[in-house]
Amino acid sequence: MTFPKELKEAISHLPSSEKDKLILRLLKKDRLLTERLLFELVSEQTADQRRDEVKQKLEEGIKRATKNFRSADYLNVEIRSMSGIISEHVFITKDKFGEAWLNLWMLNQILKLNKGNLSGQRRQEKFSIAVIARVFKVLLIINKLHEDFFSEFSDELKELGTLIGNSQHLMATAKHHGLDVNWLTLGNVPENIAEIYREIRKNGFLK
């Protein structure tokens, strides 16, 4: 939503007490913004500490989803739910490193723990596309981080590449949608990954 310049100017001239009342009233209706301000202005907790808490939540969610596995589509729904938890963490903390690391860790855990569950599933198209799309998302985030961080993702990327390579469904989907698994296993993500991704999406893939 775009705010008129006149409104911004009018708000800037409000007395401080009125501004405070407006802010508190708005915060009551926006849980995430409230948590973000609490983290930035009040909490002594670090982004790393919150990341560990999110990892624990994801771990619990993955174990539950694995235990209650019904289909690849069910697992896909659970992944979307867990991705939402990661997105909230990033909004609150602006932890871009954590966004890549948590998504990468989540994908590895899901694929490792559900290897047996998925092996007997014939219909995996939606799930496989969702996984490959998230792999691209991780690579795009990593590509925007400082190059010194890349080494911290190399082991997890290799593991993910191996897991995809060992799955007939995922490997076929990766090839069809333009993901070169060697980018993961060899650690040579193209510098123009964003351009590659845009072209893939433009041509109707990853949907």
Q: Are residues 94 and 191 in the same domain?
A: yes
Q: Is 178 left (phi over 0), alpha (psi -120 to 50) or beta?
A: left
Residue 148 lies in a domain: yes
Expressed as residue numbers, the domain containing 35 is 1-44
Radius of gyration of the chain (CA): 20
**24-74 pLDDT, tens digit each:** 888 888 999 999 999 999 999 999 999 999 999 999 999 999 999 999 999
Q: Are residues 97 and 164 in the same domain?
A: yes
Contact 189, 156 (CB under 8 A): no
Q: Are residues 50 and 9 in the same domain?
A: no
What is the rounded CA–CA span in Å between residue 46 and residue 124? 38
Q: Are residues 38 and 118 in the same domain?
A: no
Number of domains in the chain: 2
Mean pLDDT, contiguous 10-residue spans, the chain (207 residues): 80 84 86 94 95 97 96 95 97 96 97 93 92 96 86 94 96 96 92 95 93
Give me the DSSP letters along 154-197.
HHHHHHHHHHHHT-HHHHHHHHHTT--THHHHS----TTHHHHH
Residue 32 lies in a domain: yes
| 117 three-class SS | helix
